[in-house]
Amino acid sequence: MAQLIDSGAFPDLYSGRKNLGRWREVEGFRKKWKEIKKKMDDSITTRKEAKRGENLESVLEFKTWIRDRRSSLPFHEEYVDQIIEEIEEYLESF
């Protein structure tokens, strides 16, 4: 998890509620990003226009969400920029 900001939080350190909350946030983000990447891949291969539109809408919502919360996410700016860039490349190909 090199993209995490070094905040002194470790997944095997269960000494504080804030630490556990932060790791829950990271795991939730990773799960959400994985789902969005799958939707991006699916929208390229699917032939149904309605499904493609639905996937595109989800990707756009995620892009807005990540931009709005960029400073509060526990990740390096470069990692967030990389995700946004990957989304923008997808949008250009769509």
The mean pLDDT values, 10 residues at a time, for the chain of 94 residues are 55 64 86 96 87 93 95 88 96 86
Measured CA to CA, the distance from residue 82 to residue 22 in angstroms comes to 21
In a domain, 11, yes or no: no
pLDDT at 33: 96
Domain that holds residue 43: 17-93
Measured CA to CA, the distance from residue 58 to residue 30 in angstroms comes to 16
pLDDT at 94: 75
pLDDT at 43: 87
**Any bridge partners for residue 74, and if so which?**
none
In a domain, 6, yes or no: no
The total domain count for the chain is 1
pLDDT at 35: 97
Backbone angles phi, psi at 13, to 5 degrees: -105, 110
pLDDT at 4: 60
pLDDT at 55: 92
In a domain, 8, yes or no: no
